[in-house]
């Protein structure tokens, strides 16, 4: 088996839990209009894109009334950004970054979010200088669950799929990584913990649950 030489992280929900506050702030708007935002429907977009889904239109359909979309979006966005900006790095992430750098491994980020979103938060968290590659929706035609993001990340890092480990939190992300040929670790968060992660090679409660050394050993000998 080839040596494991690279880690590729999803961003949202893996490095920082941006997904719980995203849903929570939208749910707050829906409840203010006397309706519920279906968690399962919302979860189907996690790790991919909401392009093509008119969430304000969905709210209007459920509530049976028009809403001031601009005001709603602005109000909701402010609350969301405030929550995310106070969110810490998730457990185990810093330890993985630190050990990977000390071991000379390459680190990539593959995200269906925008480059400005990912890079902005990586800078805020002091992690931007730790990564060798950041690939986002701005770099590809198709976001997850398509494997394009992971294939591009592998090319950028100069490694084969057999040399990398992907760390994901959603069904869309796991499918993307596995289709690209990577050993994939699922680390669900509050929003994705009920999803079926059966395609992942390994599922952890958090990265703090397993040392990077042990993970590399498992990935190098999946049998």
The tokens describing 61, both together, are: 């359909």
Instruction: Examine the residue annotation and report whether 10 is marked as an active-site residue of this protein.
Output: yes
H or E stretch at 48: none
The number of residues in the chain equals 223
Instruction: Examine the residue annotation and report whether 155 is marked as an active-site residue of this protein.
Output: no
Which is catalytic among the residues 10, 17, 22, 146?
A: 10
3-state secondary structure of 180: coil
Taking the C-alpha atoms of residue 155 and residue 132, their distance in angstroms, rounded to an integer, is 12
The answer to whether the CB of 7 falls within 8 A of the CB of 105 is yes
Tell me the pairing of strands 6-9 and 202-203.
Answer: unpaired
List the catalytic residues. 10, 12
């Amino acid at each position: 088996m080839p040596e494991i030489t690279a880690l590729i992280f999803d961003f949202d929900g893996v490095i920082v839990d941006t997904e719980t506050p995203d849903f929570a702030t939208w749910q707050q708007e829906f409840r203010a209009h006397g309706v519920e935002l279906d968690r399962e429907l919302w979860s189907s977009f996690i790790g991919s894109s909401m392009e093509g889904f008119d969430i304000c239109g969905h709210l209007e359909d459920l509530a049976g009334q028009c809403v001031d979309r601009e005001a709603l979006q602005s109000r909701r966005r402010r609350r969301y950004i405030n929550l995310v900006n106070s969110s810490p790095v998730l457990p185990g992430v810093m330890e993985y970054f630190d050990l990977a750098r000390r071991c000379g491994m390459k680190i990539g980020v593959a995200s269906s979010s925008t480059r400005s979103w990912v890079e902005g938060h990586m800078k805020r968290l002091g992690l931007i200088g730790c990564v060798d590659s950041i690939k986002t929706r701005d770099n590809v035609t198709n976001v997850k669950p398509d494997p394009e993001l992971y294939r591009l990340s592998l090319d950028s890092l100069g490694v084969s799929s057999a040399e990398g480990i992907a760390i994901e939190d959603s069904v869309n992300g796991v499918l993307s990584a596995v289709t690209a040929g990577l050993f994939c670790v699922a680390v669900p968060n509050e929003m994705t913990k009920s999803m079926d992660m059966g395609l992942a090679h390994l599922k952890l409660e958090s990265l703090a649950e397993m040392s990077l050394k042990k993970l590399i050993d498992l990935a190098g000998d999946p049998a």
